[in-house]
Each structure stands twice: as structure tokens, then as C-alpha cells.
Amino acid sequence: MKTITFFAFLIVFACSANTLQSQARRDEIGKILDLQEVKNELRKAKKVVFRNTDSARMVLNQLQPLIGGFDDQTMALYHNTYGLFYWFVKDYDASIASFHQTLKLPMSDSLTEYRAEALNNAGTLYSKIGQQDSAINLLTQALKIDEDRKNEIGMAKIHYDLGLAHQRKGHYELALRNMLKSLDLNEKNKVSTSRVIGNHNVLGNLYSHLNDTAASAESFNKALNLAISEKDSNLITMIYGNLAVMYQLHGKNDLYFYYAQKSKHYLPADCDPQQLGVVYFNLAGAFSELSRYDSAIHYFNKGKPLISDLRIGNQAEALVQMAYTYLKINRIDSARAAVKNSLTIAKAIQSPTLIAEAYAMLSDIDSASLDFRSAYRNYKRSRSLFDSIHNKDHMQRIAELRIIYDSDKKEAENSLLKSQNSLKGEMIRMQRLALFAFATLAAILLILLYKLKQSNKKIAGQQEIILRKNDELQELNQTKDKFISIIAHDLRSPFNSLLGLLQDLLDHYDNYTDEEKVYLLESTFRSSTNTYNLLVNLLDWTIAQRNGFENKPGKVYIAATVESVFQILSSRAMQKKIVLINAVDAAHTAYVDPNILANVLINLVNNAIKFTPLSGQITVKASFSHENEVTICVEDNGIGIPAEKLDKLFDLDSDFKRKGTADELGTGLGLVLVKEFVKASKGSLSVKSTENEGSVFCVTLPADKF
């Protein structure tokens, strides 16, 4: 008699399911079921869950009474499919619980793929709901499984999800590492273009957080070009919106407005309310920053009905921007109502940054209403929160550097341990071989002694490698100690000074004249700027010491790079009335990584600005040393450098540090970083200087090879 098919049995069973009460009956069902047929149905449900949750729900509900007959593989597939279903109906707690059901199944080789999937999806969901530590833990376990399986496509996705989790935790360096690994694996395996677009889009946000506007814009433009080639209006709209926000964060309001307009232009007709709301509020904010308040109010009014569709944090940000615009046109009551709604949302999601921004806006509104007591109270609240956030971010960045250092150190120690184990194994094998040879004929013994001699040479070579690795570990420890000592010495003083200025201003605010208050605020700003520049240089130097920066040389037009560097530093130069002159021929090119050349020139020109007095002049020149090299020089008419200090100028151990002509602080790390970058670019660095007459820093690089 022909065995009953799965589908026929399913119909019969559905009619009699309510009569099945015992475990014995379920075991009997398991013997009847065609498990391969069940798996096929689950895989079909898994494929359609993304676009048709009702169909997936129907299959899962029909199979639920049959689970007593499932083997472990079928059970894992069932729970993973249910996890995806709950995910797409936005029941995240139930989704995570389903994935954990898979993880509770007995560990076996047959379940490895299902465990990796459950760990990855649960980790991604934990990150989505804000539990980043749990997310990183599960994603790291999933990554280990896929690394062991050499599943590079799976590794690429997990590195992407780890990058997002670290970004949300504020660990931007760790996020950058994971996102770059994900991009490399995706490009290597030629996955779908949408995944590569996602990599470049997140990299744009990360570089923006790290204040690398050029790298951020480059990543966003790569994502944009791919999205345009795919003719995906939703992605194009999103990326233009991200470019707009990036330029807003860096104070470039004209570009903020330009990209907000571009985002609206590509907005698809069938876009979802959230995307439409983001576009409207970006446009409103851009018009407001350009003081075009009527247009700003117009787009705020268009966005108001959609505000509940925005992510909750974006709702608070939109309301603060709305309050700012209302205040500018003297609609005080509307401004106050908007910012109070923002404060309510910010407190609900416990966002210190959004709470601080709301209190700062309330302070401005109270000042406009002449309620100075309330304005001062709200100002103190906002400043206290901002200071707390700044200190937390600072400590978090130091902790992140320690994580990166510990990770690198662990890798080095593992490499050393493998070498030692290999050496021990080799010695044991040779000793056994010698004992066996001693018990055999003398002729064989002579042959073995010869082989042993050769092996000893090999062992000696391996010992030399181990000693060299020990030296590298010691150097790594010394670098760490030097870095920590720099942080302890060079960051404590400026932070103490900054805190002292702020405390004095708070304690004696009413006793100071307006001129004195302005002077204290200017001093605080200078101290904050110098401390921030110090921290950036410390971080860049640490990355360079780990050889962690990217170096992809190519043809670079030097004059264009100089011009972009001048744009970045123009505001600093204008403060000191310093003239910046680009004397590089437009046709001159170098063979170098464009980001490295920009970083080198930023440090050299910034250094020249620091040590050039008011109304001075800085000139950048370039010339071909010979056929294969080009020399770029940054020349100033500043205070110069003592001759006895020139030899140690680029050494980390140098104690030569002094203030700039406007009392700017320095650590010397900028020039140390320049030395590292030039060395990595196969170039050379030189300096000529005369005290009270000026300095000339020259970088010689390979000329363009094409």
C-alpha cells in the first residue's frame, strides 16, 4: 500500500488534531511524517516571510501541532523561521525568544548552520532594540562559527552587524574595522550590490563621527553611484539625506541645503511615511540654517502629520529644530510647546544628548521671554549634561583604544604561542626519531645524525623568529606605556584648566562684566579646541603605530589637494589674518594615497598657522626632484625653530613643545604622525628653519607612475 503523502496527512491531521493528547501519540506522528517534506514547507515559508507574513503564519500554525515528531534539524529550522516571522511583524521579544529556542538544542555538527543563523539574527535584534553588549556577544559567537566554516559571505554579514552594534555603542574605531572587513569580503565574493551600498553608507556615517569629512563624503558618493546604477530611488533619497545631515553636523549649511533638495528630488512616489517625514524635516532644517524661516515653517507644517512615523529619537531632534525656527520668528509659545514635547520624548528614551539640547533650547526661549532666572537654571542643566556626555565619551574612547590594543596584543601572543608549540612539537619528533635510530644499524644512525643537524639549523631559525617576536611584543608594551603616559600628562592639564575656567564662570557668573564673560568663554573655547586637537592626534598616532591605516596609492593632483586643505583650515588662518598661497602647478601629480597626502598637508599647514604671527604668509610649492620623485614644501615666515632642536623634531621622545603665536598648545604628535605617513608612502621628510625668520617643511614622494 502506498505511503500517505505529507499534504494528505496534513489535511487528515488538521481534522483530528484536537483529539491528540499524549506524548505517545506525538511520537507516533513523528514516525508517519515525511520530515524532508516538512523542511521543504518551512524553507518556502522562510522565503516568503519577508513579503507575505500571512502565508508564513499559516504554514507555521499548521505545523505547530506536529513538532513532537520533528528531529533536531527540523526543530531548529522551525524556530528560526518563527523568529523571522516575529521579526517582520515587529514582535522583537518573541523573535529573540524563538532564536534562543534553537540555541537550546543539543550542539552537533548538523546544527552548526542553524546555530550561526540564530546567533546572528538574535544579535542583530538585540542591537536594534538597544542592547549592544548582548548583541556583540552573540554576533562574536556567530562570527567564530562562520570563520571555522570559512563561510565568507556569512562573515561579511556578521562583520556588518558588529559594525552597527559598535557604532551604536559609540565605539567608532571598532565599528570602522568591522565595516571595512565586511566591505572587503562582500567585494571579494561579488555579493548583491545592495549589501555593498549598505557598507559604504555606514562607512560614510562612521567617518562623519570621526570628523573625517572627506572620507565620509567619498563613502557616501560611492554608495550613491551604486544606487544610481541600480536605479533605486529609495536608496538614492536616503543617501542624499545622509549627505545633508553630514554637512549639517560639520557646519556647511550651503551643502546641507543642496543635498536636502537633492533628496527631495529623488523621493519616490510610493515612499513610506517615515522617509517622507525625514525629507521634509531635513529641508525645514536646511532652510532654517539659511535664515529662510518662511520656507522652513512651510516644510515643518508638511512634516508635522508624519512626525509620529519617524524613529523616536528623530522625533525629538525634529521638534528641537522646529522650536529653534519658531524662536527666530518670535513665536515664543509655539517654540516652547515644541521643545517641551521634545524633552518629554528625550526623557522617555533616556537620551542625555537630546535632553541637553532640549534644555539649551528652553534656556534660549526663557531668555527671549526675559525670564532670566529660568533661563540660567535651564542653561546649567544643559551644560551639566553636556559636560557629563563629554566626559563619558572621552572615557569611552580611551576604553575603546584599550580594547583595540588588547586585541592586537592577544593576536601577537597567539602567534608567539603557535610558534613555540610548533618548535616543541618539532623537538619531540626529532628526539623520538633519534632514539629509534640509535636502536638500529650504525649506518642508519649516521644518516639520522645528519638530518638532526639540519633540523637543528631549522630550530635555530625558529628560535630567532621567537626572539624577534618577543622584541616586537616588548616594543608594543613600550608603545602602550608611552601612549598612556602621554594621555596622563598631556590630557590632565588641559582638562583641569578647562574645568577650572568653567567652574569659575559658574561660581561668579553674576560678578563678571560682559567683557570678562566673553574673555572667559573665549579661553574655554581655545582650551577645548586644543584639547580636542590633542585627542585627535593621539588617536591618529596610535592607529599609525598599529599600521592600521589604509594605504591605497594612486595618481593625485597635488594642487587640488592643497586647495581642499586650505578650505578646511581657512577659518583658522583668517583668525590670525594669515594669507594661504597655493603655488603648486595644476599639472603636478604624485603617486600616493589621497587621504594620506591630505593628512600630511593638514598637519604641516596647521603647524605653520600655529607658529606664524598675525598677518603672516604660508606658501605651498611643488617641484620635480628628478624623473621619479616630486617634492612638496610648506613655507612660512613664522617664529622658526632653534637649530639644536631640528634633529629631534620628528621623534616621539622629544621634549620640545611650545605654544603657538596665539598661545595654541601643541604635543608634537602631529609631526610624528606626518613622519609615519610619509614613511608608509615610501617618501622622505626634511625641514629647514631659521629662528624669527620662518620654516620650510618638505615632503618628497614618488611621482605619478602613469
Residue 705 has pLDDT above 70, yes or no: no
Q: 253: which 3 cell numbers?
A: 549649511
Burial of 11 (0-12, 13-18, 19+ CB in 10 A): exposed
pLDDT reported for residue 527: 61
Cβ-defined contacts of 373-380 (< 8 Å, 24+): 376/509, 380/506
pLDDT reported for residue 646: 80
CA distances from 454 to 445, 450, 463, 654 (A): 14, 7, 14, 47
What is the average per-residue pLDDT within 571-586? 89
Pairing of strands 629-636, 617-626: antiparallel
Return the bridge partners of 695, or none. Answer: 636, 689
Helix (H) / strand (E) element for 544: namely: helix 514-545
Q: Write down the mean pLDDT value for the chain.
A: 81
The secondary structure of 453-489, three-state, reads: HHHHHHHHHHHHHHHHHHHHHHHHHHHHHHHHHHHHH
What is the average per-residue pLDDT within 579-601? 91
Q: What angle do CA 125, 126, 132 make, to 5 degrees?
A: 135
* Rounded Cα–Cα distance for residues 86 and 80 (Å): 10
Spatial contact of 78 and 45, defined as CB atoms under 8 Å apart: no
Three-state DSSP class for 309? Answer: helix
Higher pLDDT, 325 or 570: 325
Residue 360 has pLDDT above 70, yes or no: yes
* Rounded Cα–Cα distance for residues 523 and 47 (Å): 61
Cβ-defined contacts of 98-104 (< 8 Å, 24+): 99/125, 102/75, 102/76
Return the bridge partners of 623, or none. Answer: 631
Q: Of 414, 399, 398, 680, which is closest to residue 547 (Cα–Cα)?
A: 680
CA distances from 211 to 183, 216, 242 (A): 21, 8, 15
What's the first-to-final CA gap in the chain, in angstroms?
78
* Rounded Cα–Cα distance for residues 691 and 706 (Å): 41
Residue 2 has pLDDT above 50, yes or no: no
Helix (H) / strand (E) element for 581: namely: strand 579-582
Residue with grid cell 614618488, as numbered in its chain: 702
Q: How confident is the model at residue 15 (pLDDT cuts 50, 70, 90)?
A: very low
- In eight-state DSSP terms, residue 491 is I
pTM of the prediction?
A: 0.51
Q: Of 584, 586, 582, 557, which is closest to residue 567 (Cα–Cα)?
A: 582
Residue 15's identity, in one-letter code, is: C
Higher pLDDT, 604 or 20: 604
* Rounded Cα–Cα distance for residues 26 and 33 (Å): 10
Residues whose CB is less than 8 angstroms from the CB of residue 11 and which lie 6 or more positions away in sequence, other chains included: none
CA distances from 589 to 264, 622, 624 (A): 38, 9, 10
Spatial contact of 322 and 285, defined as CB atoms under 8 Å apart: no
Q: Which residues of 16-37 are buried (b: 16+ CB within 10 A; e: fewer)?
A: eeeebeeeeebeebeeebeeee
Pairing of strands 629-636, 684-690: unpaired
pLDDT reported for residue 634: 97
Residue 625 has pLDDT above 80, yes or no: no
Q: What is the DSSP string of 230-253?
A: HT-HHHHHHHHHHHHHHHHHTT-H
pLDDT reported for residue 465: 81
Q: Of 220, 333, 348, 241, which is closest to residue 285 (Cα–Cα)?
A: 241
pLDDT reported for residue 6: 39
pLDDT tens digits, one per residue of 593-605: 988 898 899 889 9
What is the average per-residue pLDDT within 149-176? 89
Higher pLDDT, 176 or 508: 176
Q: How confident is the model at residue 618 (pLDDT cuts 50, 70, 90)?
A: very high
What is the average per-residue pLDDT within 272-297? 90
pLDDT tens digits, one per residue of 422-467: 566 666 676 676 666 666 766 776 776 777 777 777 777 777 788 7
Residue 146 has pLDDT above 90, yes or no: yes
pLDDT tens digits, one per residue of 518-565: 877 876 776 676 566 656 655 665 665 555 556 789 999 999 999 988
pLDDT reported for residue 663: 74
* Helices 72-88 + 53-63 axis angle, to 10: 150
Give all strands of the β-sheet with 629-636 in edge-to-edge order. 579-582, 617-626, 629-636, 694-702, 684-690
Residue 1 has pLDDT above 50, yes or no: no
pLDDT reported for residue 9: 39
Q: 634's torsion region: left (phi>0), alpha (psi -120 to 50) or beta? A: beta
* Rounded Cα–Cα distance for residues 328 and 97 (Å): 49
pLDDT tens digits, one per residue of 75-119: 999 999 999 999 988 899 999 999 999 999 999 888 999 999 999
* Rounded Cα–Cα distance for residues 359 and 388 (Å): 14
Residue 479 has pLDDT above 60, yes or no: no
Residue 128 has pLDDT above 80, yes or no: yes
Sign (positive or negative) of CA dihedral 362, 365, 369, 373:
positive
Q: 692's torsion region: left (phi>0), alpha (psi -120 to 50) or beta? A: left
Q: What is the DSSP string of 653-700?
A: T-------TT-----SHHHHHHHHHHHHTT-EEEEEEETTTEEEEEEE
Three-state DSSP class for 105? Answer: coil
Three-state DSSP class for 66? Answer: helix
Return the bridge partners of 291, or none. Answer: none
